[in-house]
Amino acid sequence: MNNSTKINHFFKKKFFKNLKKNKKNYFSDGTLKVFYKDINKRLFSLENFLEKKKIRNKKILAVIYNQTGINFWINFLISYMSDMTVMPLEKNNKNFKKIEKYFDVVILFNGFQYEIIKNLSKKKNKIMMITEYISSTSGSTGSPKMILHKFGSIIKNSIATSNRIKLKKNKNFLIAIPNFYNSAVCHFFTCLVKNINFYSFEGFMYPKNLNKLINKYKINYFGGAPIQAEWILGSNHKKISLKKIISSGDFLKENVIKLYLKKEKKIYLYNIYGITEVGGRVFINDIKNSKNPFSLGKPLEHFKIIQKKISKKIFEVGIQSKFNFLGYYSDRLTQTNKIKNIYLTNDLAFKENGQFKLQGRKNEIFKSSGIKIFPEYIKNEILKIRSISNAFVFSKHFDLIGNAPVVAYESKKKLDEYFIINQLSKTLEKKQIPIKYKYYIKFPYLKNKKINKVKIKNEI
């Protein structure tokens, strides 16, 4: 039995006992509150259903889709407790069709109803046999990825994260992201391991609503996307109960960190660098107490950070861990390096005062007339221009000159192009200065609150 399996078994046994006696803790979507002890009834009902259908000891894929709110989390939890492979999906996503051949039975969860799909021609696969959780989080393109996990990695990181951030039991924790995202699952397990009340809201976008919810439900801890952390920090609305903001998904912009350092005294802000492939949490930076607030912070203790050299100062971040994911599945299974358990993240960084600072993505680097262009480096220089709040730098091909950097920027008003070029020329070499500029009052965003890069590229 490997480390991940041991941790999962230990936690599941402990949590099963906790379900029976815990009369305090609950999870809620605002309309309905479900106490942990109430889960026993649903769990017992599911176990009876499995026995009656004679599929209790089969390899089962639990597909949680076409659902929102509290039913999603109830079905997620009872599927996990019943030793199924759990696959949360977006509404009407049929991704499970690609992998159902590896399971004896697929159970589709739709509210209180179960639909069974039996597989008469099952294919054997060692990785699928030990897969316990299939993440379908959305990347920057908005296309779901199937990432195969063992639950032990999520639980290990949840325990380490709750200890690092010093979360206390019986507090109220709010997320405001789609339930099927891996970051939502990570927050959910963090609440389970610490006996914290879990609030989940999906159907709103506006900062005013978010701040109202924090006060209405006396939220102590908020976990969400950087844009949401920015909404909270930028609001003058009093947040009496809020003690900690945990930002994950994308990395917080420097201007948001500066706003926090200047404005907030009572709230703690934690910037998390989390990779789905290694359980969703890697580095945590306690901004209030950090000597390097713009860095990644310190990694969790069970990770070893590998530095793969890219240039003289820049390296690709690699993570060595026994808790790495099992593999990807698209049209076929592709595995990670199981010998050294190293996952190369594609993220670039450099060292500053002994800590790592992100410097963009490896696949975003391109050459222009033989010179390496670093989009993240250019972006950081653009953001030093006071009125620009966000920027996206990428490569575009031009017939006369080939590939060259271009930029989309977010600002309250359109800036003179020559003014931007003049500012950038003070710090950037000529080849690093973008040759085309696109102005947005507000960038288009995906549902996961990330910039819609595909749309922007098509508009320039």
CATH code for the domain in which residue 399 is found: 3.30.300.30
Query: Would you tell me how many other CB atoms lie within 10 Å of the CB of residue 329?
Result: 21
Flag whether pLDDT at 402 surpasses 90.
no
Residue 382 lies in a domain: yes
pLDDT bin (cut points 50, 70, 90) of residue 207 is low
Residue 381 lies in a domain: yes
Dihedral-angle region of residue 83 (phi above 0 means left; psi in -120 to 50 means alpha; beta otherwise): left
Token pair of 400 as six digits:
């006369």
Residue 145 lies in a domain: no
Q: Are 100 and 117 in contact (CB under 8 A)?
A: yes
Query: Would you tell me how many other CB atoms lie within 10 Å of the CB of residue 316?
Result: 18
89 CB contacts (<8 Å, ≥6 apart)? 63, 64, 65, 95, 96, 136, 144, 180
Q: Are 377 and 360 in contact (CB under 8 A)?
A: yes
The pLDDT value given to residue 171: 97
Flag whether pLDDT at 338 surpasses 80.
no
**DSSP state letter for 392:** E
| Residue 98, φ and ψ in degrees, nearest 5 | -75, -25
pLDDT bin (cut points 50, 70, 90) of residue 55 is confident
Closest CA to 334 of 149, 98, 95, 147: 147
The pLDDT value given to residue 206: 59
The pLDDT value given to residue 208: 62
CA 332 – CA 35 distance, rounded (Å): 40
CA 306 – CA 300 distance, rounded (Å): 14
**DSSP state letter for 295:** S
Residue 122 lies in a domain: no
Closest CA to 137 of 184, 200, 176: 184
Flag whether pLDDT at 178 surpasses 90.
no
**DSSP state letter for 37:** G
Flag whether pLDDT at 161 surpasses 50.
yes
Residue 341 lies in a domain: no
H or E segment and range at residue 46:
helix 39-52
Token pair of 77 as six digits:
């939890």
Closest CA to 58 of 11, 150, 122: 122
Token pair of 453 as six digits:
């890069």
pLDDT bin (cut points 50, 70, 90) of residue 177 is confident
Closest CA to 345 of 139, 177, 179: 139
CA 285 – CA 338 distance, rounded (Å): 29
The pLDDT value given to residue 140: 46
The pLDDT value given to residue 311: 79
Closest CA to 223 of 275, 186, 266, 195: 186
User: DSSP 3-state assignment of 380?
Assistant: helix
User: DSSP 3-state assignment of 211?
Assistant: helix
Query: Which of 43-52, 133-142, 405-414 shows the highest mean pLDDT?
Result: 405-414
CA 307 – CA 403 distance, rounded (Å): 28
Domain that holds residue 437: 365-459
Residue 337 lies in a domain: no
Flag whether pLDDT at 195 surpasses 80.
yes
340 CB contacts (<8 Å, ≥6 apart)? 320
CA 154 – CA 184 distance, rounded (Å): 11
* pLDDT, average across residues 97-120: 88
Percent of all residues in the chain with a pLDDT value above 90, rounded to a whole number: 46
Lowest mean pLDDT among 35-39, 85-89, 155-159, 405-409: 35-39
220 CB contacts (<8 Å, ≥6 apart)? 171, 172, 173, 241, 242, 243, 244
Q: Are 460 and 436 in contact (CB under 8 A)?
A: yes
User: DSSP 3-state assignment of 207?
Assistant: helix
pLDDT bin (cut points 50, 70, 90) of residue 429 is confident
**Crossing angle of the two packed helices 226-234 and 254-263, in degrees rounded to 10:** 30
CA 229 – CA 236 distance, rounded (Å): 13
Residue 146 lies in a domain: no
Q: Are 232 and 210 in contact (CB under 8 A)?
A: yes
11 CB contacts (<8 Å, ≥6 apart)? 155, 193
* pLDDT, average across residues 267-272: 95
Closest CA to 302 of 150, 151, 156: 156
pLDDT bin (cut points 50, 70, 90) of residue 287 is very high
User: DSSP 3-state assignment of 21?
Assistant: helix
Please name the amino acid found at residue 20: K
Token pair of 5 as six digits:
């399996």
**Global confidence as pTM:** 0.82
CA 277 – CA 349 distance, rounded (Å): 18
Residue 451 lies in a domain: yes
The pLDDT value given to residue 141: 44
| Residue 319, φ and ψ in degrees, nearest 5 | -125, 120
Flag whether pLDDT at 332 surpasses 90.
no
* pLDDT, average across residues 380-403: 88
Number of structural domains (the chain) is 1
CA 379 – CA 365 distance, rounded (Å): 13
The pLDDT value given to residue 167: 96
